[in-house]
Structure 1
Amino acid sequence: MRASVHRLGMAHPGDLSQLAALFDAGTLDPRHVCAVIGKTEGNGGVNDFTRGYFTLAFSALLAERSGRPRAEILDSVPCVLSGGTEGVLSPHYLVFAREAVEVAPVTGQKRLAIGVAFSPAMPPEQVGCRAHVDLVVAAVQQAMADAGIDDPADVHFVQVKAPCVTAARAQEAAARGAAVLTAESGRSMAYARVAGAFGVALALGDAPAARLTEDAMFRDYDLQSDRASISSGVEVACNEVILLGNSAGWSGDLAIAHRPMADALDIGGVSAVLGDLGLAAAPQLSAADAARIHGVLVKCEPDRRGALRGNRHTMLDDTDINAQRHIRGAVGGLVAGIIGDGRIFVSGGAEHQGPDGGGLIAVIARV
């Protein structure tokens, strides 16, 4: 197998012109597209419909070009969008593709491997609960098998898009005599992220299974996975999983590396992950090295203790701008300054995803 990753810009959330151009030129076969991760210019909240707008446009284009029914594409090609391109962040999307090739993998070298999976649809009363965690565990294991990865150590990034509870979904559950964990949509998204993070940690062995309980959610922040990136939204009803790692069974010229980010100022963590791929930031990547990068994926979180390296921050107390928008802009600026490119996937809400008050970074590059 061989993986490819195309990083494409967009003029608006429904703009797929760059992807269409790849199809037209024969550079990318639409039948090989297996997943998408992208940043849209919405607010990132419950009512951020830019994510659904992009998904609609993407599935329509892929259906047209591949000859597959749109419903089949929606059920088999994860399309994970994160809203919010604050500051220097640029709206863009990563198109992941894989194809069977006759070229043998290089002995002793591991290359980018991609796996995808979908959990069964979840009733709203399961969001954020143990049943949610277990569904993510099973989906991550399925994605590993889909990627042909046996060793969890070879997994570097797991993106999960989880459903959340809306007012309508809460009412539907109540009509059946079921109770949701929380009917507040924003809080539901947070619980979904934590359930996803616990599921990834369990599947990959990143934390002791006995400690990954519902009681530990939002309490024991030592429990985390620095390979988990979890988003939640109204546009999905199941858990969509995109798993990225390196495998000796794959060929091509791409590889992925990841590092935890200790906090929002951890420039060292960014430089370290670049170094893992043979890229040197001094202090910014050269144009030649920057051109080797095919994707940058970041999770971040405003420190819940209200201080950053001993100094007070006001992100949590700003009633005008949501804290997640603050942190996306801040960390996005830091990483973009090093990479020299604003096309960075930066997602907030990193509870139990990387160190408390920090997060993670993963980079895909030509090696």
Structure 2
Amino acid sequence: MASDPVRFEFGVTILGTDHPGDVKELLSFLSHKNKSIEPVAMLVKTEGNGCVNDFTRTMAYESYKETFSRAGFPDVGIIVSGGTEGVLSPHATLIYKMFGEALSVGEHSLSIGVSRTRELAPHEIGTVMQAELVGKAVRKAMHAALLGCSEEVKFVQIKCPLLRDDDIAAVSRTGKPVVVDDTYRSMALSRGASALGSALALGEINSLSDSDICANWDLFSTVTSVSSGAELRHCEVFVFGNSPRVPGSLVISSFIMQDPIDSAGVCSIIRPHALDRDEGQIVQLFAKADPIGMVRGKRTVMLDDSDIHSTRHARAAVGGVLSSIVGRTNIYVSGGAEHQGPRGGGSGAIISRKPLYNWAGH
């Protein structure tokens, strides 16, 4: 870890979007900031279906990538997740460094590191090989975030690839088997492998085999969220934590939802005054939503509905619960929580402001 004082803190801003390729608010933000701002990561929620053919993810990914490159920031990490069912609002969460003179770094403050794997071959998706590659990327991102141990990690957001039909056809001609020939099922297996790779890196599990992925539900990460899509072939990894080496006015806290209506799991980490919405104490909330057939002994149709996919039901349900808690709809809720918290529940995190700032100018 670096011993020199860190001369930046992390800032977070939420940008609205009128359509998946809309970058107006990002352009406005960058144009009104001086050279003391450096974008680090962007997490985008689009109004797509979140399924294999959700091309809103690709549209958003390419639009933001081009915008950052033109602005001189080609290495910004970008993760796009489709699906803003129910009351959820399409938006983008921008995380950036603000440079200045550092004060005391005795208190843990928000830090984030970005890393990525190499491109995955189709036959590697949903396997232990993917998990191992993700694990290496998680450790690299921890180092970038100046996080010295797993206890300082509070949230890991990963974007991973899926198997498209042309991938499956191409691999079949090589004789190398893919894990599944169902493109939608490949999304779940890719998410599961990525989540377990993160769990391995953080010491939450000790070992992993291919047969565990999306089968052994006793294995999971309590701080990892994963989504999959066709817009990339590698895995993008963001590691969030509270570092004693980084100053700042923000912190991040983890929570677990045991089921889609577990509001208590979220409220347990919120300071009472943080729900004073005029004070803006809660900056952003991230959560996973897992489809489930029974909620507290009562049947749901999430897994039986042939018209609306189960992950869309789950996002709408969890999005409604969490929006009612924080009083806003531009929060980041992602569907499909394989090995991301207990089965039927999900992992999550809240970025909030500290009661007292320790940064010059606040």
TM range (shorter): over 0.9
Q: Residue deviations 1:154-193, cap 9 Å, x none?
A: 1011011111111111222233332211121101111001
From 44, 66, 73, give the equivalent of 1:60.
66
Match of 1:326 in 2: 313
Report the alpha carbon displacement of residue 331 of structure 1 after superposing the two structures with TM: 0.6
Matches within 5 A, 1:174-253: 174-207=172-205, 209-210=206-207, 212-253=208-249
Match of 1:340 in 2: 327
| 1:59 to 1:199, Cα distance in 2 relative to 1, 3 A | same
**% identity of equivalent residues:** 38
- Of 320-329 and 90-99, more deviation after overlay is shown by 90-99
Match of 1:357 in 2: 344
Match of 1:81 in 2: 80
Matches within 5 A, 1:276-355: 279-280=273-274, 285-289=275-279, 291-303=280-292, 306-355=293-342
Report the alpha carbon displacement of residue 99 of structure 1 after superposing the two structures with TM: 4.7
Letter matched to residue 215 of structure 1? S
Letter matched to residue 305 of structure 2? D
More helix by percentage: 1
Aligned partners of 1:27 and 1:55: how far apart in 2?
25
Whether contact under 8 Å (1:273, 1:361) holds in the other structure is no
| 1:28 to 1:318, Cα distance in 2 relative to 1, 3 A | farther
Superposed CA RMSD in Å reads: 1.5
Report the alpha carbon displacement of residue 64 of structure 1 after superposing the two structures with TM: 1.9
From 45, 48, 52, give the equivalent of 2:54.
48
| 1:279 to 1:302, Cα distance in 2 relative to 1, 3 A | farther
Structure 1 spans left out of the alignment, 5+ residues: none
Structure 2 spans left out of the alignment, 5+ residues: 1-7, 355-362
Aligned partners of 2:250 and 2:295: how far apart in 1?
35
Match of 2:145 in 1: 147
Q: Residue deviations 1:34-91, cap 9 Å, x none?
A: 111121000001111111111111122212222x5xxxx2xx3221111111111000
Whether contact under 8 Å (1:166, 1:183) holds in the other structure is no
Q: Does 1:35 align with 2:41?
A: yes
Letter matched to residue 245 of structure 1? G
TM-score computed with the length of structure 1 as normaliser: 0.91
Whether contact under 8 Å (2:20, 2:59) holds in the other structure is yes
Aligned partners of 1:218 and 1:54: how far apart in 2?
29
Report the alpha carbon displacement of residue 273 of structure 1 after superposing the two structures with TM: 2.3
| 1:203 to 1:13, Cα distance in 2 relative to 1, 3 A | same
Q: Does 1:256 align with 2:263?
A: no
Aligned partners of 1:302 and 1:105: how far apart in 2?
44
Letter matched to residue 292 of structure 1? Q
Whether contact under 8 Å (1:98, 1:114) holds in the other structure is no
Letter matched to residue 179 of structure 1? P
Whether contact under 8 Å (2:110, 2:251) holds in the other structure is yes
Match of 2:31 in 1: 24
Report the alpha carbon displacement of residue 226 of structure 1 after superposing the two structures with TM: 1.4
Report the alpha carbon displacement of residue 260 of structure 1 after superposing the two structures with TM: 0.7
Letter matched to residue 345 of structure 2? G
Aligned partners of 2:98 and 2:336: how far apart in 1?
33
Match of 1:92 in 2: 91
Letter matched to residue 65 of structure 1? A
Say which SS state the counterpart of residue 260 (structure 2) adopts.
coil
TM-score computed with the length of structure 2 as normaliser: 0.92
Letter matched to residue 161 of structure 2? P
The count of corresponding residues between Structure 1 and Structure 2 is 347
Match of 1:171 in 2: 169
Letter matched to residue 189 of structure 1? M
| 1:349 to 1:279, Cα distance in 2 relative to 1, 3 A | farther
Aligned partners of 2:164 and 2:285: how far apart in 1?
31
Report the alpha carbon displacement of residue 28 of structure 1 after superposing the two structures with TM: 7.6
Letter matched to residue 55 of structure 2? F
Report the alpha carbon displacement of residue 100 of structure 1 after superposing the two structures with TM: 4.8
Match of 2:357 in 1: none
